[in-house]
Amino acid sequence: DQQVKQNSPSLSVQEGRISILNCDYTNSMFDYFLWYKKYPAEGPTFLISISSIKDKNEDGRFTVFLNKSAKHLSLHIVPSQPGDSAVYFCAAIERNSGGSNYKLTFGKGTLLTVNP
């Protein structure tokens, strides 16, 4: 049973436009969410995160929105650039994953292609 779902396997956008990547979760114990970007033959690279006490976090061109009641988060990239083309993973950590237990639960990823 997938606790973190990314229902769009792929997304294609034009350079300069907005990219919106979506993620849904089912586990109410999740209280911290992260987005990772992954290029082929590389490990995931941290992009941006958000705590459940917030509904928005912004870092440059990247903004993550969290809707706790809908158990939904989204990553907005504005403006999109060809170098943003990669697989984007949504991940979550459970509240009270105590001590140093930092298990990440990932979605299956969305392949973003930004066309010049």
Partner 1 sequence: ETGVTQSPTHLIKTRGQQVTLRCSSQSGHNTVSWYQQALGQGPQFIFQYYREEENGRGNFPPRFSGLQFPNYSSELNVNALELDDSALYLCASSRTRRGYTFGSGTRLTVV
* Rounded CA separation 68/72 (Å): 6
Q: Which stretch binds partner 1 (CB under 8 A): 37-45, 53-61, 65-73, 78-86?
A: 37-45
Q: Is 22 exposed, middle or buried (0-12, 13-18, 19+ CB in 10 A)?
A: middle
Q: Which stretch binds partner 1 (CB under 8 A): 10-18, 38-46, 62-70, 76-84?
A: 38-46
Q: Which is nearer to partner 1, 44 or 75 (CB)?
A: 44
DSSP, res 110? E
Q: Which is nearer to partner 1, 77 or 90 (CB)?
A: 90
Return the SS3 of 83: helix
Tell me how far, at minimum, the Cβ of 26 lies from partner 1, in Å.
15
* Rounded CA separation 59/41 (Å): 26
- Considering only 26, 45, 67, 115, the residue that binds partner 1 (CB under 8 A) is 45
* Rounded CA separation 60/32 (Å): 20
Q: Contact, 23 vs 4, CB < 8 A? A: yes
Q: Which is nearer to partner 1, 1 or 60 (CB)?
A: 1
Q: Which is nearer to partner 1, 13 or 93 (CB)?
A: 93
Q: How many residues bind partner 1 (CB under 8 A)?
A: 27
